[in-house]
Amino acid sequence: MRTLTAKPVKVALPGPYLLTRTMWMECVSDRASRQRTFMCGALGARRDPAEELALAARLLAEVTAGMPRDRLALHVCRGNWTPDERAALTGDYAPLLPFLAAAPVGTLVLEACTHRAGALEVLADLPSALRIGVGVLDQKAPRVETVDEVVVRIERAVQVFGVERVLLNPDCGFATFADNPIASADVAEAKLRVAVEAARRVRGGPGAA
């Protein structure tokens, strides 16, 4: 990457909890169950939520130890393997607030565009030092949002967190699987253009930096 740019580089990596809970499961390892995907297996595993959050926190702490907090971000995914909203996870962030508040990162990258994420205001009491990457684009929907729609989402986030803390992003990635992306490249590019224009408008006009 450094051969291509001198600008700061952002690299996305799968989290330690995701890898721990999806790299070994009977539904994947058992030949008779190979038709099930790792996501199916993860959703089917019923464990105590408090214990799982404690495990996730420990793994995250071990992986990030010694790294600068302000350069680290954590994304909480609600399921990006299917465009069917009925099959993905739903519920607001309230049960995760203690975990998110204590996470050893400087930024939380959260889904907020989908109705499944609940009210953004639930996150209002997170530590003020945390930047919040707010999902303003639905990466699963083929329809490209209007600039006006995204402006409303940005302004709502600014009201909750303050302009200095808000970062903009899609709810999740546009290419969950390289050979079968959720959105086409054209749709993804169009959505990102809308987000850029919406950010310019909120900042004060087309010429704003």
| Each residue's pLDDT tens digit, 59-89 | 999 999 999 999 999 999 887 877 777 877 7
**Cα–Cα separations (whole angstroms), residue 51 to 46, 55, 58, 74, 76:** 11, 6, 11, 19, 18
In a domain, 118, yes or no: yes
Domain range for 149 = 68-203
Tokens of 67: 């790294």
In this model, does residue 28 exceed pLDDT 50? yes
Dihedral-angle region of residue 11 (phi above 0 means left; psi in -120 to 50 means alpha; beta otherwise): beta
In a domain, 108, yes or no: yes
In a domain, 126, yes or no: yes
What is the model's pLDDT at position 135?
Answer: 97
What is the pTM assigned to this prediction? 0.85
In a domain, 77, yes or no: yes
CATH value at residue 89: 3.20.20.210
In a domain, 29, yes or no: no
In a domain, 47, yes or no: no
Give the number of domains in the chain. 1
In a domain, 155, yes or no: yes
**Cα–Cα separations (whole angstroms), residue 169 to 63, 107, 113, 188:** 24, 12, 10, 12
What is the model's pLDDT at position 66?
Answer: 96
Percent of all residues in the chain with a pLDDT value above 70, rounded to a whole number: 84
In a domain, 114, yes or no: yes
What is the model's pLDDT at position 209?
Answer: 41
- Residue 26 binned pLDDT confidence (cut-offs 50, 70, 90): low
In this model, does residue 40 exceed pLDDT 70? no
Tokens of 18: 């995701």
When pLDDT is averaged across residues 112-134 and rounded to a whole number, the result is: 95
